[in-house]
Structure 1
Amino acid sequence: MNTTTDTAATLLDSGDISWILISSALVFVQIPGLALFYSGLSEAKNSLVALLSVLLAFCVVFLQWVLFGYSLALSDTSTSKFIGNFDFGACLDILTTQNAIASTIPAALLAMYQGMFAGITPGLFLGAVIGRIRLLPMMVFVFLWTTIVYDPITYWSWSTHGWLHTLNVMDYAGGSVVHLSAGVTGLVLALMLGNRTDYGEKAYEAHNPSFVYIGTILMWFGWMGFNGGSSVAANVRGVGAAFATNVAAAAGGLSYMAMEGIINKKRFSAIAFCNGVVVALVAITPGSGFVQPSVGIIFGSLTAAACFFSVKLVHSFKIDDGLEVAASHGVGGAFGMVLTGIFAQYEVTTLNVSPGSATAGWLDQVWIQVPVQFAGIASVVVWTVTWTVLIVVGMNAVPGLRLRCSVEDEAIGLDASEIGERSYPYIRVGDVERQKGQSKSTVADI
């Protein structure tokens, strides 16, 4: 429960406040990092819309979070097992109180920190449909999706009364809340919006690998606040989480690059390395504060393999998930949740928590934990799929809110048609593609 102002003042810890302020800034750095990552992987004609989409989504969500999202997702005055209340609407009364899950920092700081998580999540799933989704309907979709899908899932997992929290589902920093929900949403959007008009007729290549590299480094850097800050205090738990994050990323990047070379006969692929770093970071997210740092090697290596073959599987079903969101974030998040249920240990999970409030995984003979993790995965998948489908169907039925762009706009690129500006104004992308015979004039109505 929230404390009074006088009591609150005695609980605040300047070290904890400093670290979570820094962590909030670190997580924010991931947003331009993700935008650069997606822009570099996209076609040149959609490079600017990729950059803009991620930041627009963040702004929409952050305002929603301030108005009522934080209160729905993390209100500690709600006794519901499924959703918060509106006690902290407009983020009132949070400067002088603390939330029960972070008693040594102002609730306002927790709200800002968690707002960064909420803001980056839609940016993740937009990668599945970059170049096909219109900007205005996208922003409406993001607002609805965050309210109906993300906020309840966050409450279930991280609120003191949430039903997944009380079930002891272990998700330290968002393997299911952020990445699994985003991966599933990306897959649903890819299916419902339909394939690109030239899908299967050309090989899509990253137009700017340097952007991909820079974006990866920014995300890796920011992930130390994403995971390390999820301790919501400057303590040993945060140290272990940040350490494990780096270990996993290093292992994942090398493993993915090696598989790309051995199986796909490529050289030292920078893009493969970057993909491996990202999927490993995704996987270690749910377990970073529950496992020994060295176990990050297992998280990174095994998840790199799982995601590598998941990409091939998605392609085999002819699903146009443009930037491999489902295979990277969906599979990576779910795989990390399962690995957490195996490798979590009491000597880590009992750090900086009150006695009796921690659980562990199979290494410590807690055999129920993996089934519990699967229950958490299944609940997030079912909720996300159901509501994402309903939101898309509802929006497509409203004039002006149809998500899929026109055939003509897709052909010339959304930089020109949606923004009216180009990253590379000296290149007439549409003309180049027409000369190559790569654009089509018709597409099935989606």
Structure 2
Amino acid sequence: MKYLTLALALAAASVLAQNATEPAPLATPVSPLVSADISWILISSALVFLQIPGLGLFYAGLGEAKNSLSVLLAVLLAAGVVMTQWVLFGYSLAFSDTSTSNFIGNFKYAALIDTLTTVNPIAGTIPTALFSMYQMMFAAITPGLAIGAVAGRMRLLPMMVFVFLWTTIVYDPIAYWTWSGLGWLHALNVMDYAGGSVVHVSAGVTGLVLALMSGKRVDYGTRNYESHNPTYVYMGTILLWFGWMGFNGGSAVSASTRAVGAAFATNIAAAAGGMTYMGMEALVNKKRFSAIGFCAGVVVALVAVTPGSGFIEPGMAILFGFFPAIVCFYAVKMMHYFKVDDALDVAACHGVGGAFGMILTGIFAQHKVTDIGVTPGSSTAGWVDQVWIQVPVQLAGIGAVCAWTAGWTAILVLVINLIPGLKMRCHQEAEEMGLDMYEVGESAYPSYGSVATTSDVDSDSKAHLSLPKVPSQITLTNAGNSSMA
């Protein structure tokens, strides 16, 4: 008995000694995570999310009063659809780090499994879950940009179906090609820091296809369309500008020098673009100090600096504001000349602005910036550093994104329109009444004028809405708005 007692005592002493010399595993966790980076990307995610309602306000203000609430809702609905898709499988398709394909990811992270306990190789200091949430905000705003082209004439239910399929078939592969680290455009050294092609070119091309396939508004060319609420436009611009510091600054996926440079360049470009576009409105369109013109220029410049903001010195961003504002100003005029009914000039501003920004990146990117935080010799640069191949590479990336987006968007529109009950274009009565009452059943301005009730809308008489008399302050062009984001 005494030997048994002695053995138990020795065993207990051994366990105590082991516990004393070997701390519990959680006492000194070994982790590559950096709290400063986590904090910054959390903040950046919130900033990019803020751009979604900002975009809604911007678009609603540019459009007509009878469609303003439906536009606000459409942008938010599109974001909700994408967020759901992103969690189910979108993130895994776009950013899988275990796929053997250079074209599309796999389903390893479907339903965001294992994303709290892993890191993605391209964002190695933050949890995969945080990287996924940040990238989700980019995916969520992109289709919202595109549907502005058919504001006032696209039904909400088919729009939601379209957005789910478009994000899966168009956006996710393009994001994988360019950003995943395994994609074929990444292997070609296409430089797209924060979404010039992935977000803006794809949205612009999609908007153009939607506008062409949906057909013109019933009164297109017969009257001037006016921005019904410039105050909305102003508020939306501020939210977009503010949020864009997270859009570009957060794309460094770290609290780093690159994040500082990208955020600073973003602000400089916006300021230069706003003043330039406003000046073009005054010189060419003979307007005064157009508030809408300034706001349009701000957003055009933000679009253009997006692909290059992390690859250039901040002062160079003045060029990314000045030249794109002029180019997009005339792109809007060209679209109207060819009578393309892009309601909010999505193609001319996002598509052209994003593509031109990609080209400028191929010209002005510098090794002194692109080498920051990477292995020397592993980065590329632009023409200013005698990397003459970069602009052709950028053009190849733009071409690939345009072709993939245009082809699949057209196919999706054709297929969805063949499904009973999902025809994307609203009928004439709905368009004339306004989608606020016909689709949403609510008015953005219920205290103005007499408003048709939902039962009125559903009745055989199809009573028309007596619209609120909200004064329009800016007369735009003969066929469409002169400016948009």
Which residue of the other structure, out of 172, 184, 195, is the alignment partner of 1:163? 184
Rounded to whole Å, the distance in 2 between the matches of 1:280 and 1:377 is 18
Where 1:197 maps in the other structure, the secondary structure is coil
Deviation at 1:424, TM superposition (A): 1.2
- Equivalence map 1:182-197=2 (5 Å): 182-197=203-218
My pick for the range that moved more, 6-15 or 394-403, is: 6-15
- Work out whether 1:33 is the aligned partner of 2:54: yes
2:328 equivalent to 1:307: yes
- Asked if residue 427 in structure 1 is aligned to residue 462 in structure 2, the reply is no
C-alpha contact (below 8 Å) 2:310/2:370 kept by paired residues:
yes
**What's the Cα RMSD here?**
1.6
Distance of 2:28 and 2:352 partners within structure 1: 44
Aligned partners of 2:27, 2:264: CA distance in 1, in Å? Answer: 36
Q: Is 1:352 aligned to residue 373 of structure 2?
A: yes
Contact 2:437 2:465 in 1 (8 A): no
CA contact (8 A) 2:148 2:343 kept: yes
Read off the aligned partner of 1:423 and give its amino acid letter.
A
The corresponding residue for 1:247 is 268
1:412 to 419, 424, 433: 433
Instruction: Describe the shift of the 1:83–1:432 C-alpha distance in structure 2 as closer, same or farther (beyond 3 A).
Output: same
SS at match of 1:323: coil
Corresponding residue for 2:292? 271
Check the 8 A contact 1:8/1:96 in 2, yes or no: no
Change over 3 Å in CA distance of 1:372–1:6 after alignment to 2:
farther
| SS at structure 1 position matched to 2:219 | coil
Amino acid at match of 1:238: A
1:223-246: CA deviations, max 9, x gaps?
000000000000000000000000
Unaligned runs of 5+ in 2: 1-25, 452-463, 470-485
Question: Could you tell me how far apart the structure 1 residues matched to 2:330 and 2:315 are?
Answer: 24
2:107 alignment partner in structure 1: 86
For the 8 Å contact 1:36–1:211, the answer to whether it is kept is yes
**Aligned-residue identity in percent:** 69
**Gap change, CA 1:101 and 1:205, over 3 Å in 2:** same
**1:356/1:79 CA distance change after superposition, 3 Å:** farther
SS of alignment partner, residue 340 of structure 2: coil
Tell me, yes or no, if the aligned pair for 1:188 and 1:388 is still in contact at 8 Å.
Answer: yes
Q: Does 1:207 align with 2:228?
A: yes
Stretch of structure 1 that moved more, 420-429 or 223-232: 420-429
How many Å separate the matches in 2 of 1:316 and 1:403? 26
- 2:101 is the counterpart of 1:113: no
- For the residues of structure 2 that align with 1:151 and 1:183, how far apart are their CA atoms? 16
CA distance in 1, matches of 2:388, 2:151: 42
Amino acid of the residue matched to residue 77 of structure 1? Answer: T
CA contact (8 A) 1:182 1:330 kept: yes
Kept after mapping to 1: 8 A contact 2:434/2:465: no
In the TM superposition, what is the alpha-carbon distance from 1:359 to its structure 2 partner?
0.3
Measure, in 1, the Cα distance between the counterparts of 2:331 and 2:137.
28
TM superposition outliers: structure 1 runs of 4+ over 4 Å? 5-9, 428-433
Kindly provide the amino acid, as one letter, of the partner of residue 263 in structure 2: A
Q: How much does 1:57 deviate?
A: 0.2
Change (3 A) 1:8 1:144: farther
Partner residue in 1 for 2:252: 231
Aligned to 1:284: 305
Paired position in structure 1 for 2:20:
none
Residues 304-334 of structure 1, C-alpha deviations (whole Å, 9 max, x = no match) = 0000000000001111100000001000000
Structure 1 position 427, deviation (Å): 3.0
Amino acid at match of 2:47: L
Preserved contact between residue 98 and residue 107 of structure 1 (Cα < 8 Å): yes
Query: Is the 1:248–1:281 contact (alpha carbons within 8 Å) kept by the matching residues of 2?
Result: yes
Map 1:54-133 to 2 at 5 A: 54-133=75-154
Q: Report if aligned partners of 1:345, 1:360 keep a CA contact under 8 Å in 2.
A: yes
Shift in CA distance, 8/393, structure 1 to aligned 2, threshold 3 Å: farther
CA contact (8 A) 1:8 1:98 kept: no
Give the CA deviation at 1:10: 1.6
Evaluate the alpha carbon distance shift between residue 347 and residue 287 of structure 1 in structure 2; reply closer, same or farther with a 3 A threshold. Answer: same
Structure-2 separation of matches of 1:54 and 1:9: 42
What's the counterpart of residue 16 of structure 2? none
Paired residue type of 2:133: M
How far apart are residue 294 of structure 1 and its match? 0.7
Q: Distance in 2 between matches of 1:291 and 1:366?
A: 14
| 1:134–1:405 CA contact under 8 A, matched in 2 | yes
Match of 1:441 in 2: none
CA distance in 1 between partners of 2:388 and 2:272 (Å): 27
Equivalent-residue separation in structure 1 for 2:346 and 2:29 (angstroms): 42
Whole-Å separation in 2 of the counterparts to 1:183 and 1:358: 29
Asked if the contact 1:172–1:289 (Cα under 8 Å) also holds between the matched residues in 2, the reply is yes
If the length of structure 2 is used for normalisation, what is the TM-score?
0.87
Once the two structures are TM-superposed, the CA of residue 205 in structure 1 deviates from its matched residue by 0.6
Larger radius of gyration: 2
Counterparts in 2 of 1:234 and 1:431: CA distance versus 1, 3 Å: closer
**Rounded Cα–Cα distance in structure 2 between residues aligned with 1:424 and 1:161:** 49
Matched residues, number: 431
The within-5 A match list for 1:308-327 is 308-327=329-348
The letter of the residue matching 2:199 is: V
Alpha-carbon distance, 1:432 to partner: 5.4
Shift in Å at residue 353 of structure 1? 1.6
Question: Which of 357, 369, 390 does residue 411 from structure 2 map onto?
Answer: 390
1:372 pairs, out of 389, 393, 407, with 393
Counterpart among 189, 193, 201 of residue 172 in structure 1 = 193
How far off its partner does 1:301 sit?
Answer: 0.4
In structure 2, distance between residues paired with 1:8 and 1:265? 65
**For residues 296 and 326 of structure 1, what CA distance do their matches in structure 2 show?**
22
